Chains A and B, each alone.
Chain A
Amino acid sequence: MGTDPFVKIRGLTKTFRTRDGDVEVLKGIDLDVEKGDIFGVIGFSGAGKSTLLRCMNRLESPDSGTVSVNGVEISGLDKRRLNEERRKIGIIFQQFNLFDSETVFGNVAFPLAVAGLPKRRIKQRVDEILELVELGDKSRCHPAQLSGGQKQRVGIARALANEPDLLLSDEATSALDPQTTYSILQLLKGINRRLGITIILVTHELDVVRCACKHLAVIEDGCIVEKGEVRSVFLNPRSTTARQFIRIGEEFVREYSVQGGDSI
């Protein structure tokens, strides 16, 4: 693969046709993510960050531009090849999107069964991966019996079942409380460290990026306005969005500590 980045996005555009006219969500995105990175994409609502992420496994089809993952151009694949590639890209969602009809075991086994693994191998792999996300004892539970954090752990286990090289996180912690968010981020960091999986996470929470990511890109109105190492962007934010994020974060902390947290 040479020096090519692990995820390489060039000139990506996407326009949604809505009742109120066309909305240009992505206006020519260029992005590189290196192998083994935890890469954050941060932006306000409607900036296009989720759409960008969803173009990476083609839950959205871009209008123009290319997305390649590990040297494979995702945007040009036929249906069969796309399904094969998708098995190597895990994704977790804000709303978890677990199957209520299956147990925890069944949810994690699903991508393996779909990939055609033999039953015995599935059992082995599911047990292994449930241990990894510390849910070994919940295997026979149904999703409805679990807390939000546990559900997201099942989501992560399901996304990792096929041993992907890339894990996409679409606001995966946005429905969780701060403690749970922290523990999920620790889990993701551990997975990144131990398994070497590249993680791209989209979020509107500054703390998520600060806690988990090595690099980040700031997206504003369909364009990437700033990217770099997390630390350097925090120390020296150049885009208005990055500055706003940091200022709001600081104000929040100040307000919270002055008022003792009672009125929030």
Chain B
Amino acid sequence: MNLNTSSLGDVLKSSVGDEVWSYVWPAIGSTLYMLAITTIFTFLLGLGLGIVLVVTDKDGIKPLPIFNAVLGAIVNVLRSFPSMILIILLLPLSRLILHKTYGANACILALVGSCFPMLGRLVESSIHEVAKGKLEAAKAMGTTNWNIVFKVLLPEALPSLVRSFTVTVIAILGTTALAGSFGAGGLGDVAVRFGYNRFRTDVLIPTVFVLVVMVQAIQALGGVIARGIARKRYLV
């Protein structure tokens, strides 16, 4: 059903109907599944990457300029691929590991690969915002590098890290929708197969609506957590 063949009223009516939602409900489940698993791996890899980038920086606590430059270049290369191309490139890797190039799990690998470099850079800049004096104070107290990272830099950067993380989760959601085109399933898949290929505007509307609600919810939650931490520290 679309606006060329039906009235707006009919399209809207159909879009809240049982038939449409019988496609949308399962898609929501599989999008949330992909989002959750991708987020976990992106979080771990992105945080690790960000920490390594900061620590090995030429002004970092363990300067390794050549390593840092090479790592930075690799991150930049990964980030310059359009997500779609990167997903296509990473699918053979999924075949290698999971013996499959379709379905949610196969795409999660590709999604993580396309999202964690961004989080790495965001984590890097969040940590860079921590005042240098705090780092010096920690050093002067005889703090090991490990403790400087985990007891000073990360806790001090926490509100900013939460915001970076929120941005990333939303980017992951956008990329899962894109991955729908490559057999990942989920809302993106429904939107493409029904909404685009079959001109089903009545299916397109609820998928977009659900995505909008998800983005709003993630952003609101991230904002509440970041503000909550800052308020607890009396910084706002």
Q: Which residues of A contact B (CB under 8 A)?
A: 57, 59, 82-87, 89, 91, 93, 95, 97-102, 110-111, 113-115, 142, 144-145, 158, 162
Contact = CB atoms under 8 A, between A and B. Distances in A.
B139 interface: yes
A107 B151 CA distance: 11
30 contacts: A57-B140, A59-B136, A59-B139, A82-B142, A83-B142, A86-B139, A87-B141, A89-B140, A93-B136, A93-B137, A95-B133, A97-B133, A97-B137, A98-B134, A99-B152, A100-B156, A100-B235, A101-B158, A101-B233, A110-B141, A110-B151, A111-B141, A111-B142, A114-B141, A114-B147, A115-B142, A142-B233, A144-B234, A158-B137, A158-B141
Contacts of B152: 99
Nearest to B156: A101
Nearest to B133: A97
B143 interface: yes
B142 A86 contact: yes
A98 to B, nearest CB: 8
Contacts, number: 68
Interface string B144-163: 10010001100110100000
Contacts of B98: none
B210 interface: no
Interface residues of B, number: 22
Contacts of A145: 234
A111 B152 CA distance: 12
Given A59-B140, A97-B134, 13 more contacts: A59-B136, A84-B142, A91-B140, A93-B136, A99-B137, A99-B155, A100-B156, A100-B233, A100-B235, A110-B138, A114-B142, A114-B151, A115-B142
Contact of B235 (A86, A87, A144): A144
A113 B158 CA distance: 20
Contacts of B69: none
B143 A101 contact: no
Nearest to B229: A101
A176 to B, nearest CB: 16
B131 interface: yes
10 smallest CB-CB distances across A and B, nearest first, come from A86-B142, A101-B155, A83-B142, A97-B133, A97-B137, A144-B234, A87-B142, A111-B141, A91-B140, A142-B234
A97 B136 contact: yes
A93 B140 CA distance: 11
A97 B144 contact: no
Nearest to B154: A101
A59 B152 CA distance: 17
Contacts of A59: 136, 139-140
A86 B137 CA distance: 11
A166 B235 CA distance: 33
Q: Which of B141, B151, B156 has the most CB atoms of chain A within a 10 A radius of its CB? A: B141
A114 B140 contact: no
Contacts of B155: 99, 101-102
Q: Which of A84, A100, A110 has the most CB atoms of chain B within a 10 A radius of its CB? A: A100
